[in-house]
Structure 1
């Protein structure tokens, strides 16, 4: 399945990395309030790649599902998973929203000059 033809507003992990390296921003969206269970923070976060013109591509899994459900939003359910993914993208300073509806934006260019985020 060619995701670019089927759903132009989504992208798999490999494409997501390419977009970030080409200047797209990473937007982390909190979909469920975070809560702590023992020493681990849980919640639901999704990621979008957004360019300066406002074009968004949502991160999806690459796995095909039976019954026609081929595209599934990639959800991060622990802070550890979210942080690990962002570090693997090249970010060295990590912050994230903890309340449903909050968003946080990252750009690789900020990493070079140490700017804070919105």
Structure 2
């Protein structure tokens, strides 16, 4: 059974990298408005892969056999993940429900 085929609205990290190389974007969605604790901001963000035409959205999941949404709980973790996708300018939504779109190599 191919879970990625059976659940077309999700994507693994490997699949996300492949789709980004084809022109898709990575949307960061703020699920819980972050709060500052000492020098760290903590909240909940998820990443969605969006097709170039905006018609298809896929939620980044932790693993093919688990299929749980990959959640980022700190800005440091989220920015490190995005930098690893070759995103050069990172925008992080700081209010629940807000979205920021990213493409690898964008410089403006």
TM-score, scaled to structure 1: 0.84
Aligned to 2:22: 22
Moved segments of 4+, more than 4 Å: none
Aligned to 2:40: 40
Aligned to 1:90: 86
Report whether the alignment pairs 1:76 with 2:77. no
Matched residues in 1 for 2:63 and 2:73: separation?
A: 18
Larger helix percent:
1
Match of 1:102 among 70, 95, 98: 98
Local SS of the residue matching 2:18: helix
Matched residues in 1 for 2:104 and 2:80: separation?
A: 16
Q: How many residues matched?
A: 107
**Is the 8 Å Cα contact of residues 24 and 52 (structure 1) preserved in structure 2?**
yes
Any gaps of 5 or more consecutive residues in structure 1? 65-69
**Backbone CA RMSD of aligned residues:** 1.4
1:3 CA drift (Å): 2.3
Matched residues in 1 for 2:3 and 2:50: separation?
A: 17
Deviations 1:44-78 (A, max 9, x none): 000001012221111001164xxxxx310000000
Local SS of the residue matching 1:20: helix
